[in-house]
């Protein structure tokens, strides 16, 4: 359903005129005020995105939904069935492409937000034994083909031509509001230019609208981001009009906007690189009650580094932050493939060791698992991670629903 900006806006949504009239009339007697209080609570529970907030603490094992799966009704039905048949799965994490939910009228210059896709997901999860949702804003993307992407709203997708490499036809296109990180065919990558005031201003308005619509929904547990690594632009930051530090500063501005607007739900950004950036972020996370997520949990040198001087790897912070902020490392393709990351020979670690790494080594409250083939469902030579989750005693026997992970609320959670 698209947001209609008529009516009176409240933190949970729009109060219809009839309810405002009842409020005025009921002020004449205490019985009327009591009746109105009950009616208001019922109304908030029924309006999309205005459900009365309940406890948002839902630690456990979640599955990650890729955009191609989100666009496939058949794939989504398969995932919903997995959630229905696997009590040990707490819910799903969905990557939000900004441009799918915001469009701007070129004549009036006003934005329209359509969150009906998220409403549908929340409704399905609420019907599936009360499963929960993590949403993640994509400020970075990897693509197989060139061209405009829904990582940007329609009015910001216009590109400009440049000739970084005239021998490669696909390099002659770039986003005005996002910078390219790769010229390798099949591995194009873009980051939003978070140093630019236009992008930050528009994202702030988008997050405000999104929070007003879904923050109070009892089945939303967190909002997150894609990874903090910013890559190397094909053209220099200076030529693009920014700098690495300004890009990181823009990330922090977006995270703080999330914290400002999502007052009911957890805010858990995905931090991995640079190590110096992560080191600067950790005191901010602690001071402002922001969680820590990471897109990988393996023992890659960059993630677990503890140099005698300089910044350590992001995963080294997890044990010391346990009990202070929400901890949510992910398990993705590289983690299934190798104990020590993508640039090492595959050793295909046992699923038990992957799980115990997250549970005991990183002391996670939440973990999000990518449904990579062949690991998730398995095949003739590969066991199934889904089957492991359904049968591993420490996961199955956890009556809290956290799948054996740390279910105790950290200090930052009310």
* Residue range 251-273, pLDDT digits in tens: 999 999 999 999 999 999 999 99
CA gap 125, 131 in Å, rounded: 5
Residue 198 pLDDT > 70, yes or no? yes
Domain with CATH 3.20.20.80 in the chain: 58-145+176-396
DSSP for residue 170: G
DSSP for residue 51: P
Give the helix ranges, DSSP H, for 102-222.
116-127, 197-214
Burial class (CB in 10 A: 0-12, 13-18, 19+), 19: middle
Q: pLDDT averaged over the chain?
A: 84
How many whole angstroms from its chain centre is CA 153?
Answer: 18
pLDDT value, residue 177: 74
Distances in whole angstroms, Cα of residue 95 to Cα of each of 139, 144, 176, 223: 10, 17, 22, 10
Distances in whole angstroms, Cα of residue 333 to Cα of each of 27, 89, 229, 230, 282: 59, 19, 17, 20, 26
DSSP for residue 384: -
Helices and strands in the chain, H and E counts:
16, 17
CA gap 315, 301 in Å, rounded: 10
Q: What is the pLDDT of residues 199-257, one digit of tens each?
A: 999 999 999 999 999 999 999 999 999 999 998 777 778 777 889 999 999 999 999 99
Which among 161, 152, 163 is positioned nearest to 190, based on CA atoms?
Answer: 152
The first and second tokens of residue 271, run together, are 């931090």
Neighbours of 200 (CB within 10 A): 18
Confidence of residue 145 (pLDDT cuts 50, 70, 90): low
Q: What are the beta bridge partners of residue 103?
A: 112
The first and second tokens of residue 332, run together, are 């993705």
pLDDT value, residue 148: 54
Which among 282, 136, 251 is positioned nearest to 242, based on CA atoms?
Answer: 251
Which among 60, 57, 124, 65 is positioned nearest to 87, based on CA atoms?
Answer: 60
DSSP secondary structure letters along 248-291: HHHHHHHHHHHHHH-SSSEEE-B--S-HHHHHHHHHHHHHHT--
Domain 58-145+176-396 has CATH 3.20.80.10: no
Confirm if 248 and 287 have CB atoms less than 8 A apart.
Answer: no
Q: pTM of the entire structure?
A: 0.84
Q: What is the pLDDT of residues 153-175, one digit of tens each?
A: 988 876 544 334 444 444 444 56
Confirm if 181 and 169 have CB atoms less than 8 A apart.
Answer: no
The first and second tokens of residue 137, run together, are 């804003």
Give the range among 32-46, 62-76, 105-119, 260-274 with minimum mean pLDDT: 32-46
Which among 231, 237, 143 is positioned nearest to 184, based on CA atoms?
Answer: 143
Give the helix ranges, DSSP H, for 322-407.
333-337, 351-356, 385-391, 393-396
The first and second tokens of residue 356, run together, are 């115990």
């Amino acid at each position: 359903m698209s947001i209609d900006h008529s009516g009176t806006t409240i933190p949970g949504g729009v109060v219809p005129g009839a309810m405002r009239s009842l409020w005025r009339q009921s002020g004449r007697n205490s019985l009327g005020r009591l009746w109105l209080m009950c009616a208001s609570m019922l109304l908030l529970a029924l309006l999309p995105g205005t459900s009365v907030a309940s406890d948002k603490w839902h630690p456990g094992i979640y599955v990650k939904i890729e955009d191609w799966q989100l666009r496939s009704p058949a794939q989504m039905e398969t995932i919903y069935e997995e959630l229905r048949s696997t009590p040990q799965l707490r819910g799903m994490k969905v990557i939000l492409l900004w441009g799918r939910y915001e469009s701007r009228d070129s004549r009036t210059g006003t934005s329209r937000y359509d969150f009906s896709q998220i409403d549908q997901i929340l409704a399905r999860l609420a019907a599936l034994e009360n499963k929960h949702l993590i949403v993640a804003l994509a400020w970075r993307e990897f693509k197989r083909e060139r061209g405009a992407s829904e990582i940007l709203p329609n009015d910001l997708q216009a590109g400009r031509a440049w000739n970084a490499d005239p021998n490669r036809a696909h390099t002659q296109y770039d986003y005005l509001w996002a910078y390219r990180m790769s010229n390798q065919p099949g591995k194009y990558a873009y980051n939003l230019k978070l140093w630019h005031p236009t992008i930050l201003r528009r994202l702030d308005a988008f997050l405000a609208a999104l929070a007003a619509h879904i923050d109070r929904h009892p089945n939303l547990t967190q909002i997150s981001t894609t990874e903090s690594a910013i890559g190397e632009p094909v053209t220099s930051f200076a030529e693009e009009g920014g700098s690495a530090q300004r890009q990181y500063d823009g990330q922090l501005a977006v995270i703080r906007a999330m914290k400002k607007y999502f007052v009911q739900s957890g805010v858990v950004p995905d931090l991995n690189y640079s190590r110096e950036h992560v080191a600067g972020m950790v005191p901010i996370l602690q001071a402002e009650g922001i969680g820590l997520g990471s897109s990988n949990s393996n023992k890659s040198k960059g993630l677990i580094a503890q140099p005698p001087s300089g910044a350590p790897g992001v995963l080294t912070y997890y044990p010391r932050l346990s009990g202070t902020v929400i901890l949510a490392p992910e398990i993705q393709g590289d983690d299934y493939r190798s104990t020590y990351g993508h640039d090492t020979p595959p050793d295909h670690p046992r699923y038990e060791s992957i799980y115990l790494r997250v549970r005991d080594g990183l002391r996670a409250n939440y973990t999000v698992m990518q449904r990579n083939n062949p690991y998730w469902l398995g095949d003739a030579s590969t066991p199934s991670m889904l089957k492991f989750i359904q049968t591993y005693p420490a996961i199955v026997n956890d009556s809290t629903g956290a799948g054996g992970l740390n279910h105790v609320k950290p200090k930052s959670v009310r």
